[in-house]
A and B are shown apart, each in its own frame.
Chain A
């Protein structure tokens, strides 16, 4: 029986999410997928569907509005999966660091495997980061990974599940 694990590397499907980015990094991601840089030669498809993706490309510092969707998208992706933080904002907050409406980077909420610095990142760096992410993807387990902080169990009010209220406020404890 041959090992199915090695085929993960050969067909990574990408989900791209903009968590409040200025669109600079998004344009570079699209450039990397375009004919000139040709990420498709590694078997990459930009699916846009979390249920069929392996690599989660996130751009932008996480704004308060987008963090709930960020975690929801992350939890919808089936394991094994890797997260790639694209751009300075996504890694550390960048120029938006410690502003009132952003979180400083996505690693406060979901576990990140590869950080790609740069403002905006170059397509070459994105390709490099994705190829590094493939090596990590090959060794990942199939166990579900939990999102770090924001996710909490859906509350039930009068028999109705409230999925919208799964975000924690800043400073709120996970136990609350």
Chain B
């Protein structure tokens, strides 16, 4: 029963996390920042605004993106197969890429291209993380991974590779070239307005929940370690976001693929010899 309540509350939790993050980022810059519930105020405002539609399929793809992401988080909470979860998340990303290509705006196309490239960079790392969990626990089942003892020391390189993908996934500096406000005006989200933009906005919150749930998998059944990892990664990601500038998409791919993929491959090799 508690799982279903968590599933329903997942976007709300993501929204609070997003609002809290904006406050933390503001405090790091020595300013007050918006209220914690700011994302929800944005949501109510977006519902109230007029909206223009480019074509119906564009809207449908955004809603599908949101629903698929929610399903991904739901399956993670229910403890399904980790590999399936990653592939379903891939499908959600593909929906938003298709939405970006389905309109005539050049910025939308650029955003979609970059999203596609980013996906090529982080997807192998996610799959190798799943492989790592399989080699240690003998199963892809998330419910089983959660019950086992934590193996973060033997997966430390995979964890480092995962840390590299967190800013990319959450659209944070230095890897926020996919969204790049003011440069390509939000990329794929450029043609959305009003309540339809709301779906993309909420999908962003759910993305937070997804990333932090993968992070919690590294902690296994050790709840204290999980909380510590979540807080540490939250602070590190925001510190890096505040103190670095954007790198372009080619550099992003080079860094993520060059460092991240190498680290995770090394870890998998190491695990296979133990």
- Chain A contact residues, CB within 8 Å of chain B: 4-5, 7-8, 10-11, 35-36, 38, 40-43, 46-49, 51-52, 54, 78-80, 142, 144
On chain A, the residues within 8 Å of B45 by CB distance are: 4, 7-8, 10-11, 54
On chain B, the residues within 8 Å of A51 by CB distance are: 52, 190-193, 197
A35→B48 contact, CB < 8 A: no
Kindly name the residue among B35, B49, B52 whose own CB sees the greatest number of chain A CB atoms within 10 A: B49
Closest to B50 in A: A78
- Total residues of chain B contacting the partner, CB 8 A: 31
Q: Do A43 and B42 form a contact, CB below 8 Å, given A49-B186, A52-B192?
A: yes
A80→B26 contact, CB < 8 A: no
On chain A, the residues within 8 Å of B33 by CB distance are: 38, 40-41
Closest to B242 in A: A35
Q: Do A49 and B185 form a contact, CB below 8 Å, given A4-B44, A78-B193?
A: yes
CA distance A54 to B44 in the complex (A): 13
Is B243 close to A, CB under 8 A? no
Is B47 close to A, CB under 8 A? yes
B49→A78 contact, CB < 8 A: yes
B38→A49 contact, CB < 8 A: no
Q: Closest CB-CB distance, B33 to chain A, in whole Å? A: 6
Q: Do A11 and B181 form a contact, CB below 8 Å, given A51-B190, A52-B193?
A: no
- Chain B contact residues, CB within 8 Å of chain A: 22, 26, 29-35, 38, 41-42, 44-45, 47-52, 181-182, 185-186, 189-194, 197
Q: List 15 A-B contacts (CB under 8 A).
A: A11-B42, A11-B44, A11-B45, A35-B31, A38-B32, A38-B33, A41-B33, A41-B34, A46-B181, A47-B181, A48-B186, A49-B189, A54-B49, A79-B50, A142-B50
On chain B, the residues within 8 Å of A11 by CB distance are: 38, 41-42, 44-45
Partner of B44 from the list A7, A42, A46, A49 (CB cut-off 8 Å) is A7
Given contacts A10-B38, A40-B26, A48-B182, 17 further A-B contacts (CB under 8 A): A4-B45, A7-B44, A7-B48, A10-B45, A11-B44, A11-B45, A41-B31, A43-B42, A48-B186, A49-B185, A49-B186, A49-B189, A51-B190, A51-B197, A52-B192, A52-B193, A78-B51
